[in-house]
Amino acid sequence: MGTFILRRAFQGLLVVLGVTIVVFIATRLIGDPAKVMLPLSATDAQRAAFEAQFGLDKPLDQQFFAFIGDLMSFDFGESIWQRKPALDVVLGKLPKTLELIGAGMFLAVAIGIPLGAIAAVRPDGLFDRLIVGLSLTGLSIPQFWLGLLLIMIFAVGLGWVPTSGTGTLAHLILPAVTLAVPAMARIMMLVRSSVINELNQQYVRTAKARGLPFVRVLFQHAMRNALVPVLTLAGWEVISAWAGYTVVVETVFAWPGLGFTAMKAIGQSDLFLLQAIVFVVAVGIVIVNILLDVLFKLIDPRIKDA
Amino acid sequence: MANAHPTPILEVRDLCVEFDTMAGLVQGLRGVSFSVMPGETMALVGESGSGKSVTAQAIMGLIGLPGRISSGDILWKGQSLLTREGQKAAGKLRGKSVSMVFQDPMTSLNPLMTIGAHLIEVLRRHMGLSKDKAFARGVELLDAVGITEPKRRMGQYPHEFSGGMRQRVMIALAIACEPELLIADEPTTALDVTIQAQVLDLLADLQKSMGLSIVLITHDLGIVAGLCEKVAVMYAGSIVEAGTAKTVFDHAEHPYTQGLIRSTPRLDDRRARLISIDGAPPSLLHPPKGCAFQSRCPVSSRQCDEKPARQATPEGGSVSCWTPSVAAWSEPSESPTGGQAR
């Protein structure tokens, strides 16, 4: 197991390096920070001074090698927008995003798995139809629109929770629900079909024939097998939230996390901040993947080291 | 019938099972009756779709939607298992006093649980053993079914076992709680021939040492001849002929039984082609009113438009046929026991 994790970590390192290089190139394509950061009235000399300050006046290959050199010491340069080391800005925003993803994914899993499993017990029963209908609705709603709708109803209309911002549990509820709904819908559907499939397996029949109560057959036997594909999806949900959905949700709710900051960084052409964000996101994805691999090995003994 | 009526351990009375499918109501079982005495080994024989497995599932309470038991009764030592109290009692019986070995050992074990976990689960549930005692008993059981290094094997997963070994594990699971009746649904069909023999020997040994009653479901007449005292032949959801293995094989009364015996391949047979019974069983969606075998029967007559009643045979068995004991097929059919059918 130890060597397995080490090998995966090494592979992850290569992935992160690759991603950072791609991002270096991509960020150089999205715009000229000097144009965005300086007022229109700035003189050419001021522009040149600005570029010199951030090393943007050097040829691209020199910038690249400087970038790689700095990367080795986790130096991502200074955020042009915030005038602070870029990595510090990112790490400062990180807890907020983790809080949002944690809450959202907890909701999605804690509600999606049991409801999906209960729906599977009687396929096409009343409860099952209800769950399938809800799932389809959840899947069809655009996330940004759901966020706005929730704000209108629960924050503006009923006034139960704040419209945006952060700080208390009340602030967390709407963004977490918005992040959770599509993930929950997908998890529910997969758990449902996966449990239906497992309940039709021969080993479930033999477990019943051994006189085990249905609850035990469902949870001890069928669910464990059904959760293998669900784990894949849950990992995918965490990664997509981490590298995508949070951008939408954080923007809608002005949640001061990584996604919100990424939007700002793009708006401000803050190359260094953007690089740091993508780096942290890539590292996060690699870590989630390693965790998933380890979990798979713990759950399913048939998975060999690969 | 002369001996003082001991209570059968299992009695199935006129059992009917229906499946409510998209196409309509399929009559899986159409009045099946038989009984098994303590320590007796009975075979249920018939071709695919004749209702053998449905019978076993009905006994084990495994008929799930869209199927249901529409009429008839299943009695355990004289007590119905289908009444409300009976169903409660049945829940405790199943897996303990009655257990079952299934056809496909490759898929019958939970792939994510160790063999030990399977054994410990039933032993704790039905025998109330502690974890340590259940483990020790599990090791004994694996040893009893001929698995070497049982202690190490307890910690292994099903995918680390071969098909024959898994079937041994299934048997160990089935006998774990010292059952009185074991239902074996084609226990050797998925195994190769040498392993088949080993598994059958194991069943025979267990039957002797534990005084087990066995209901063996099979389509392999050779197995029946070797292992079973009684035979019931099923066709299209009902039993067409029953009796001791010897009478059924040597004096097959029903044309279907005769045909079945006749179509059993033999090692010393030089005929190039396998003999078969022409035609196919009737659809149980719309079963015929009369004898179900009529359309394939070489000696059918007008009379067969009506359903034949079950009648006793001179040899002490029973048969449902208007013209029993007629040698229905043109060539003499030979039984696996070597006798000549009439």
- B99 has pLDDT over 50: yes
The whole-number average pLDDT for the span A156-183 is: 86
Assess contact for B204 and B182: CB atoms under 8 A.
Answer: no
Task: Note the pTM of the prediction, 2 decimals.
Answer: 0.78
Domains in chain B with CATH codes: 1-39+50-97+230-342 (3.40.50.300)
Task: Read off the tokens for B292.
Answer: 């179900």
DSSP letter, residue B292? T
Could you check whether the bond before residue B66 is cis, i.e. omega within 30 degrees of 0? yes
Question: What pLDDT, on the 0 to 100 scale, is given for residue B4?
Answer: 53
Q: What gap in Å lies between CA A249 and CA A259, rounded to an integer?
A: 8
Domain residue limits, chain A: 86-299
Average pLDDT rounded to a whole number, residues B43-67? 85
Q: Enter the tokens of residue A100.
A: 């949002």
The complex's ipTM works out to: 0.78
Q: How many residues can be counted in chain B? A: 342
Q: Is the pLDDT of residue A31 over 70?
A: no
The H-or-E segment that residue B231 falls in is strand B230-235
Picking from B108, B159, B185, B217 by the largest number of A CB atoms within 10 A of its own CB, the best residue to mutate is B108
Q: Which is more confident, A42 or B32?
A: B32
Who wins on pLDDT, B65 or B224?
B224
Q: Which single residue is written with the structure tokens 């050779």?
A: B222
Please determine, for residue B332, whether its predicted confidence score (pLDDT) is greater than 60.
Answer: no
Q: What is the DSSP string of A138-152?
A: HHHS-HHHHHHHHII
* Residues of chain A above pLDDT 70, percent: 98
Residues of A within 8 A of B161 (CB-CB) are none
| CB contact burial B230-241 (16+ within 10 A = b; e otherwise) | bbbbbbbbbbbb
pLDDT at A165: 78
Rounded mean pLDDT, A106-111: 94
Range in A28-32, A102-106, B196-200 with the lowest mean pLDDT: A28-32
Using alpha carbons, select from A243, A249, A255, A234 the residue that is nearest to residue A141.
A249
Q: What is the pLDDT of residue B259?
A: 83
**Average confidence (pLDDT) over A123-133:** 92
CA-to-CA separations, A53 to A90, A204, A213, A269, in angstroms, rounded: 21, 68, 72, 15
Residue B62 has pLDDT above 60, yes or no: yes
> Quick count: other Cβ atoms within 10 Å of Cβ A271?
28
Residue type, position B98, single letter: V
The reply to whether A225 touches chain B by the CB within 8 Å rule is: yes
Tell whether the model's pLDDT for residue B171 goes beyond 60: yes
Burial group, residue A126, by CB count within 10 angstroms (0-12, 13-18, 19+): exposed
End-to-end CA distance of chain A: 11
A283 touches chain B (CB under 8 A): no
Q: Is the pLDDT of residue B264 over 60?
A: yes
Q: Name the nearest CA neighbour of A12 among A262, A292, A236, A227.
A: A292
Give the CA angle between residues B254, B239, B9 to the nearest 5°: 130
* B132/B129 Cα distance (integer angstroms): 8
- Considering only the beta carbons, identify the residue of B125, B159, B170 that sits closest to A211: B125
Alpha-carbon distance of A11 to A286, in angstroms, equals 9
Res. B118 pLDDT band, cuts 50 70 90 = very high
**Among B54, B96, B112, which would you mutate to test the A interface (most chain A Cβ atoms within 10 Å of its Cβ)?**
B112
Confidence tier at B335 by pLDDT (50, 70, 90): very low
**pLDDT value for A273:** 86
DSSP result, B131-157: HHHHHHHHHHHHHHTT-SSHHHHHTS-
Q: What is the mean pLDDT of chain B?
A: 83
- Rounded to a whole number of angstroms, the CA Rg of chain A reads 24
Span A86-299 CATH architecture = Orthogonal Bundle (1.10)
Q: Do A224 and B93 touch (CB under 8 A)?
A: no
Q: Give CA–CA dist B154/A288, Å, rounded.
A: 33
Phi, psi of B38 (to 5 degrees): -55, 135
Judged by a CB distance cut-off of 8 A, whether residue B53 touches chain A is no
Q: What percent of chain A has pLDDT above 90? A: 27
Closest CA to B44 of B205, B245, B340: B245
pLDDT at A133 over 90: yes
Average pLDDT along chain A? 86
